[in-house]
Amino acid sequence: MWKKSSLLLLCLPLLAEKFERVEPHMGTLFRITVDAPNVGVAHAAFDAAFARVHELDEILSDYKPQSELMRLSTRPVRISRDLFLVLEASQRLAEQTNGAFDITMGPVIQLWRKARRDKMLPSNEAIAEALNRTGHRKLILEAATQTAHLTQSGMQLDVGGIAKGYAADEALRILRNRGLPNALVAASGDLTIGRSPMAIAVEPVAGFRRRLTLSDHAVSTSGDTEQFLEIDGKRYSHIIDPSTGQALTTRIGVTIVAPQGITADSLATAICVMGPRRGREFLKQQRGISALIVVDGKLEAATGLFARE
């Protein structure tokens, strides 16, 4: 399932004239709002944008055995530009965060998905075995040949922490290319906003709300608001710490505002794993990024645009 916890409570375009369509893709609902001269233009644009999202789901899904992502193996193979871009961005962030963001965590994520279904914690032995089949340095990319391969059998990639942001970027690009720059693409906790300013409200954790007006930006929120496992009064997030294979138990929520959805989506997940202290230090090195970090209902950091509120 692609769905990630979130966030969006309000998204009202400052321009009243608009068209809207909602479709299920990537395990969640994508909502596209666009200003257009007439219904025919709007729905032709919706068709094109949603077709692009569907195309990316066929490439990036870890639920579809025949997706391009799932066909990667220990043999180097030339991959599509879309898959290469997502893998390259993921690997770059993995290096920047010392592995806090790691798309090779598929085997461990599968254990925790089953745990949420069965309402039973995975054993430490099972986690240790799955961890042996992870590690971002075991994914090899070659830009010159646009190839990728895994260095160990039994690995599985999971790009759920970055793919929806990229898909939202691409849907917005399609709309802009069709002469419709005033648009919004919302995919669960990931938003991309076009030229027209939008008033949005984000809620990194329940009860903590902030509002902003944005244009030409993306917003993403990660946390355990929607996906979690609770056993004996302890809450286990769907977000996994790659260093331990354990689900996060700290009640952390992170909202990121960035120029692109692919950046906002992945950073929100990474900062959750890094925690408030490491996250603040990392964010100091980033340009054009705004962040809201809330832990146990307490504000831990508000940078960039959020610091002005």
What does pLDDT average to in each consecutive run of 10 residues of the chain (309 residues)? 43 61 95 95 97 98 94 96 98 97 98 95 97 98 98 96 97 97 92 92 82 94 84 92 96 95 97 95 94 93 84
> What count of other Cβ atoms lies within 10 Å of the Cβ of residue 174?
22
Residue 286: predicted pLDDT: 92
> Tokens 């419709």 correspond to what residue?
180
Q: What is the pLDDT of residue 297?
A: 87
Under 8 Å between Cβ of 239 and 216? no
Q: Determine the pLDDT at residue 309.
A: 57
pTM confidence score: 0.92
- What is the DSSP secondary-structure string of 240-289? B-TTT-PBP-S-EEEEEEESSHHHHHHHHHHHHHHHHHHHHHHHHT-SS-
Structure tokens at 52: 């692009």
Predicted confidence at residue 39, as pLDDT, reads 94
Say what the pLDDT of residue 14 is: 40
Report the phi/psi class of residue 98: left, alpha or beta, with left for phi > 0 and alpha for psi in -120 to 50: left
CA 288 vs CA 30, 260, 285, 305: distances in Å:
26, 10, 10, 9
Q: For residue 201, what pLDDT is reported?
A: 87
